Amino acid sequence: MRHWEQAKKPRARIEIIPMIDVMMFLLVFFVLISINVIPALGVKTTLPTSSQVQDLKTVINAIVTLGKDQELQLNGKAITLEQLPVSIHAMERPDSKVNVIVNGDKSVDMQRLLDVMDALKEGGFDAMSIAAKKK
């Protein structure tokens, strides 16, 4: 009986050189992006100069939350109505502006909302925003 040798199948190999090439390309791409060689967005401009330039004030958001059960919070921390204007004034800095945003549950009584707005107006905050969700 004759015995024929079967052809040996070559073992599968993982080629590492193409993977290194891809990784080097990604590294170069991210380095170029990080040093702004490739512009990310918009048109590059050089601003003109002026002797009357003013610095923009940074904005601090004071989020007042009205809960269902007469809860009142300032930036997630419980607070009383009397402490509200004082706490918001404590957030103010000379180089910043405070935006007051009133955020409440839709079932909150209108009188409760007006009480909070009155307390803020008496505290010296004339402008405030009411947060809502788009329909």
pLDDT of residue 41: 61
Q: Over the stretch 7-44, which tens digit does the pLDDT of each residue have? A: 777 788 888 888 899 999 999 988 877 776 655 566 66
pLDDT of residue 119: 87
Residue 87 has pLDDT above 80, yes or no: yes
Q: What is the CA radius of gyration of the chain?
A: 31
Q: Over the stretch 37-76, which tens digit does the pLDDT of each residue have? A: 655 566 667 778 888 877 777 788 888 888 888 888 888 8
Identify the residue whose tokens are 């905050």. 125
Max CA pair span of the chain: 109
Q: How confident is the model at residue 80 (pLDDT cuts 50, 70, 90)?
A: confident
CATH 3.30.420.270 for domain 58-130, yes or no, is yes
Q: Over the stretch 96-131, which tens digit does the pLDDT of each residue have? A: 778 888 888 878 888 888 888 888 888 888 788 888
